[in-house]
Structure 1
Amino acid sequence: MTDKHITDLALFTGKPQYENFSRFKEMLPVSRMAASSAPYQFADGQTIALPATYAFEGEERSSDTFLTETDTSAVLVLKDGAVRHELYRLTGGRDVQWISWSVAKSFVSALVGIAVAEGHIRGIGDPISDYISVEPGSAYDGVRIKDVLQMSSGARWNEDYTDTGSDVHRLAAAMAGVMPLDTFVATMVHEAEPGTICRYNSGDTQALGGLLVRATGRSLTDYMREKLVEPLGFESDAYWLIDGVGMEMAFAGLNVTARDFAKLGELYRNHGRWDGKQIVPETWVHASVRADAPAHQPGQPILADHPLDLGYGYQWWLPNGDRGEFSAIGIYNQLVYVDPSRGVTIVKLSANPAYGTSMDERTNREMENIAFLRAIAASFDIQ
């Protein structure tokens, strides 16, 4: 085990990170999920070129320039389950496990759905405090699991990456041994009525990680290895970042290859079925990628101090529009984007050096990434 911690990386300072993001398993404390005993390889389809340009904010922008400026390591495009484009740059590669950041949240959501189906969790109407230890009157005391899934727990939270005193930075510090992640969650502060405000909160996902561990009696690593890694045919080992007592960094710590990231998108595109078997309940998948209340509609979810033109489901982002798209999105521009109407799943893994140096679109380029991936998906309409 290494003595390095996530706080040593100088995140959100403009420092290039692509060398780090490709080798966390060598740099930081991790747990390992062995590759599937029956690795699944996507079929190869006719190779397409990426669109030379894409439209954003009223102008045509260069795709190649965008990939370069965001230090993109991988772009994987699937159409109807077949690989149509596979690009690796910098430290990316088919066998490289890349840090998910908040893409991990969507994996955690899938595991919660499985745990409900298996009876480990009675239902998402239960208070999460029936399963995890929290201080009386703290953020998660009596709060429904559903509200936590939808980032509507009412916990006080600041996800401002530019503020070193923000909650998200304190959560990262917990990973460095200041306190166990479970203690951090147990002592978070209540602020708003649950279910009324969708405020993006990495603490909510860490609480869900604790829920899975307590409800199943197994580590997140062990449970995911059996329920997702093995049946989906992960081709490569996967890794979770862990704290000093072995608890997984549920909100952001998953390290997976581009092809194995794509398997979650394909699983959800196919309504939770894989190779003829229902892995995640179909009803769970459908509920997960829909905004079922006003607070979760596009334009309402709040990141730090501003709303985003994205909706929110059960730990999945929902682009504005009528195509039924959904996406797992992580900091530094990690995305697993799905357009089920076109049969398209796209993985983009990046280390955008400007990310988090402000909380503005001009540096973080969240919506621009969606525009770029939409252009790739739409390119199939004219082939």
Structure 2
Amino acid sequence: MIKNLSYKGVGIGFLLTLLALLAVFQNNVWRLYQAITLYDADKISHNFLNMYKMFDVSKIDASTTAYYFPVDYQALPDDFTLNDETIAIPDFLSQSATHGMMVIKEGEIVYEQYFLDDSQDKQHISFSVAKSFVSALFGIAIAEGHIQSIEQSVTDYVPELVGSGYDGVRIKDVLQMSSGVKFNEDYADFNSDINRFSRAIAFGTSLDNFTASLQREREPGTYHHYVSIDTQVLGMILVRATGMSLSEYLGQKIWQPMGMQDPAYWMIDGNGMELALGGLNITLRDYAKFAWLYLHQGQWLNQRGQLLQIVPQQWVIDSVTPDAPHLMPGENNPQSGSSYGYGYQWWIPLGAEDEFMAQGIYGQFIYIDPSNDLVIVKNSANSRYTDKSQQWPAKHLAMFRAISQHFSQTTLP
């Protein structure tokens, strides 16, 4: 009788274990399917507004003292011009599958519209716009003494990367997307490194282990090659240096003091490590607050009228100032894979006087124009974004500049 009960116990235990394994397998298969179909035309809009519900995330609570920009809605210009082609702005917003766009001029929201089921209270995936948030955290961590210098080696903080392509690479070269690591960032290529990375996320496998698997292609600090995993390395350094998760550090150093009005969600792997390179989910108005912070070189006037230096001023200046030939904007720069310039996780567009940008795949943008005291943020779900013949980035930049010029000629009441 005792043996029979024991046998039944073993059988029940085995069955429960089997069911648990099947549940995990089913969940992983479902997440893999979601990752593979993430950008499909009939699913992309819903997916980009629900990423934090589809994958594992950590939550960053809204500020207990939320800040709200005053509102004075005005009309956008009718159109913009690129290469002698005049493009109507309403048409372009539709063609680029815009979810939301906001313009802030002189501290007031002068334009705010949502499309395709987006709304003020919906969090939207950042993709690579998150890189600029990581850069801000890095500047704060240096000011607080957690990180000694960007001249140090990556492996001074992350010894797990010894033997990888990041072994001995300066932190500064990683910040400037000049690590020398071999990486294929082509989203249109199913077998590219970035898409392999996406599938790793779907299975919840270690992002740190994926990063450690990459190898060197060229000498660090000599060529600007956009490698998203460089930002993942920055995230690894921050976690080890601060002793906090990226979500905790962002919440404590930026979300709370800036009065972010909505919670944010940061995608994580099975070990709780954030997808530093692009996993933030934030509402449009909180994206705009971050843009406004950088417009004012890291200073923030909070709801109590206190002027806070959230991000060190010199860090912001250095972040948007290319300081080597391979980082300078220009067509056909033989030392760069882009015509844009690059700083510490921020883009400097062609022909910029003082403009700079954060950009994310499929149409996520933060555009900052200090001379006109204006920022623009835009979220999109453009399934055609990888079609280079459409010149999506160039069209967006031309539109942003036309909007900025329009409002620079408009006297606000």
Alpha-carbon contact 2:299-2:309 (below 8 Å) kept: yes
Residues 140 and 311 in structure 2, CA contact (< 8 A), matched pair in contact too = yes
| 1:34 equivalent among 26, 43, 61 | 61
Partner Cα separation in structure 1 for residue 331 and residue 225 of structure 2: 9
Equivalent residue for 2:112? 86
In the alignment, does 2:203 pair up with 1:177? yes
CA distance, structure 2, for counterparts of residue 81 and residue 382 of structure 1: 16
1:205-263 per-position Cα deviation (integer Å, ceiling 9, x unaligned): 01111111111111111110001111111100000011111111110100000010011
Aligned twin of 1:63: 89
Q: What one-letter code is carried by the residue in structure 2 that aligns with 1:60?
A: T
> 1:239 aligns to what?
265
Higher mean displacement: 178-187 or 123-132: 178-187
- How many Å apart are 1:191 and its aligned residue? 1.0
Q: Do the aligned partners of 1:7 and 1:173 also contact (CA within 8 Å) in 2?
A: no
* Secondary structure of the corresponding residue to residue 110 of structure 2: strand
| Counterpart AA for 1:184 | F
Tell me the amino acid that sits aligned with residue 60 of structure 2: M
Tell whether 2:368 aligns with 1:338. Answer: yes
**Residue 325 of structure 2 corresponds to residue 294 of structure 1:** yes
Q: Conserved in 2, the CA contact under 8 Å of 1:52 and 1:63?
A: yes
Superposition pairs of residues 162-241 of structure 1, within 5 angstroms? 162-177=188-203, 179-241=205-267
Q: Counting helix residues as a fraction of each chain, which structure ranks higher?
A: 2
State whether structure 2 residue 313 is matched by structure 1 residue 313. Answer: no
By how many angstroms is 1:57 displaced? 2.1
Q: For 1:235 and 1:212, locate their aligned partners in 2 and report how far apart those are by CA, in whole Å.
A: 25
SS where residue 102 of structure 1 aligns? helix
Q: Secondary structure at the match of 1:263?
A: helix
Amino acid at match of 1:38: T
Residue number in structure 1 paired with 2:150: 124
Question: Given that residues 16 and 353 in structure 1 are in contact (C-alpha distance below 8 angstroms), is that contact kept between their aligned partners in structure 2?
Answer: no
Q: State the secondary structure of the residue aligned to 1:31.
A: strand
Report the Cα offset of residue 294 of structure 1. 0.8
What TM-score results when the alignment is normalised by the length of structure 1? 0.94
The answer to whether the 8 A contact 1:153-1:194 is kept is: yes
Q: Which residue, 122, 140, 143 being the options, matches 1:96?
A: 122
Matches within 5 A, 1:366-381: 366-381=393-408
Displacement of 1:135 after TM fit?
Answer: 4.3
Contact 2:32 2:203 in 1 (8 A): no
Letter of the structure 2 residue corresponding to residue 126 of structure 1: Q
Shift of 1:114: 0.3
| Corresponding residue for residue 309 of structure 2 | 278
Task: Pick the structure with greater CA Rg.
Answer: 2
Matched length: 377
Task: Give yes or no for the alignment of 1:17 onto 2:48.
Answer: no
Partners of 1:134 and 1:185 within 8 A in 2: no
Q: Percent identity?
A: 45
Paired with 2:34 and 2:71, the residues of 1 have a C-alpha distance of 40
TM-score under structure 2 length normalisation: 0.87
Letter in 2 for 1:269: L
Q: Is the CA contact 1:331–1:355 (under 8 Å) kept in the aligned structure 2?
A: yes
The one-letter code sitting in structure 2 at the alignment partner of 1:217 is G
Q: Structure 1 pair 306/92, CA: closer, same or farther in 2 (3 Å)?
A: farther
Query: Do the aligned residues in 1 keep the contact of 2:155 with 2:162 (CA within 8 Å)?
Result: no
Partner of 1:328: 358
Confirm or deny: 8 A CA contact 1:148 1:208 kept in the other structure: yes
| Contact 1:39-1:233 within 8 A present in 2 as well | yes
When structure 1 is superposed on structure 2, of 320-329 and 282-291 the one drifting more is: 320-329
Range 20-29 or range 370-379, more displaced: 20-29
